[in-house]
Structure 1
Amino acid sequence: MPTATYPEIQDYALRKLRTGLTEKHTYHHLKHTVDVVAQCTAISDLEMVNSAEDLFLLKVGALYHDMGFLFTYQGHEAKSCEIADTDLTLFKFTDRQKEVIFNLIKATQVPQKPQTQLEEIICDADLDYLGRSDFYVIGEGLYQEFLWQGIVKNERDWNQVQIKFLENHCYFTASSKKRREEQKQVYLAQIKKKVAPWEHLF
């Protein structure tokens, strides 16, 4: 069994994010990781995950899923696994436990392709905001981050990216489909309506 409790691991991981991420990480920041952990817990409850160890590994996976952003933007999932490997070895996680966590981290890579219930949960938790009331607030942070990285050049680019992403995205768990899908479709329609008057100009 690990030599540290979950609160101890959480403090250790969040301290790394708090001190290591820059102000330019306006989406992939500390608050995002904390939110993903919270949503993993909420969705697990709704999906009736009864195993204490499963929930423990899921939450640790959520803590580390974006840790790679401390060092790289592209391919951050692989770096997240490297960091997790070092830390979890320190905390005496078993090889089996580490493998579960590595797979949880890798499952969040877009396009998401979860293979287990826990992987479905972390995928839905990671993008829970797509069907929430804070969609536009959180999205603005991602827009600013994409501008910084040169992924988009302006708001029109951003809206096109959002439309494509929302059209291709799907929730995996029954609870997330029930709670988030309908509102996500509302946002998709709103963005399409916003873009429509400009389409004939390009």
Structure 2
Amino acid sequence: MVFEEIKKKIYEDILEKLPSHLTYHNLAHTAYVLDRAVFLAEQSKVSSDELELLRLAALFHDTGFIESPKDHEERGCKIARSYLAESYSEEQLSLICGMIMATKIPQNPQTELEKILADADLEYLGTDLFEEIGESLYKELKHSIPDFSQQAWDELQLAFMEKHHFHTDYCRQNREPKKQENLLIVKKRLGFV
């Protein structure tokens, strides 16, 4: 199958069927990560074969949410294998799963492709979309934890962002400065600045 056919099938079979309370881990997020992964791959000059595997990993990286948020990366790997086993070698499937697993928090990507997908998944931290995308994640968490306050969310973001670091040269150079500005916004809301 060609990528566009696989993408259409995954959108229809899984991503469009994700529960509506997933305001962050949804079809729009997958499309965003796919777009950013392709962009970052272009900055890193990956081969066309590597790009194909990267695009597949981006497509499947959050499909595990159809079953459960817990260990969704492992579930996403199983789903990817079930859809791709006839068309891709075991070596290719292992590379795809390695990239999916690289998005697991805390991120620990090893290869260049894993670093690209890990950064694509959290690239918004260093963009002007930080507040908007962050709000969608807050709403999703609030669905599971109804008494989750804005202050608790900001405290969680602060701790997360202080530990997070980008892995690709592009994001370190072009997203880290804006991430620091966004971190300052959170610190101000918490009264730390």
Report the TM-score, using the length of structure 1 for normalisation.
0.92
Match of 1:89 among 85, 99, 102: 85
**Which residue type is aligned with residue 77 of structure 2?**
C
**Which residue type is aligned with residue 52 of structure 1?**
S
Contact kept in structure 2, 1:68 and 1:83, CA below 8 Å? yes
**1:172 counterpart residue number:** 167
**1:19 counterpart residue number:** 16
Map residues 65-84 of structure 1 onto 2, 5 A cutoff: 65-84=61-80
Deviation at 1:179, TM superposition (A): 1.4
Deviation at 1:180, TM superposition (A): 0.6
C-alpha distance in 2 between matches for 1:9 and 1:152 = 39
C-alpha distance in 2 between matches for 1:40 and 1:174 = 14
Count how many residue pairs are aligned between Structure 1 and Structure 2: 192
Identical residues among aligned pairs (%): 35
**2:42 counterpart residue number:** 45
Larger Rg computed on CA atoms: 1
CA deviations on 1:130-163 (whole Å, 9 max, x unpaired) are 0111110110000011111229711010000000
Whether 1:57 aligns to 2:53 is: yes
How large is the RMSD of aligned CA atoms in angstroms?
1.3
**1:154 counterpart residue number:** 149
Contact kept in structure 2, 1:17 and 1:29, CA below 8 Å? no
**2:187 counterpart residue number:** 192
Give the SS at the match of 2:179: helix
Contact kept in structure 1, 2:15 and 2:63, CA below 8 Å? no
Unaligned 5+ runs, structure 2: none
Contact kept in structure 2, 1:152 and 1:158, CA below 8 Å? no
Contact kept in structure 2, 1:146 and 1:152, CA below 8 Å? no
Match of 1:35 among 29, 32, 43: 32
CA deviations on 1:74-132 (whole Å, 9 max, x unpaired) are 11111111111111114x21111101011111110000000100000000000010011
**Which residue type is aligned with residue 55 of structure 1?**
L
The runs of 4+ residues in structure 1 deviating greater than 2 Å are 16-19
C-alpha distance in 2 between matches for 1:26 and 1:191 = 21
**Which residue type is aligned with residue 84 of structure 1?**
A
Contact kept in structure 2, 1:17 and 1:30, CA below 8 Å? no
Unaligned 5+ runs, structure 1: 198-202
Map residues 136-155 of structure 1 onto 2, 5 A cutoff: 136-150=131-145, 153-155=148-150
Contact kept in structure 1, 2:16 and 2:27, CA below 8 Å? no
Match of 1:103 among 93, 98, 104: 98
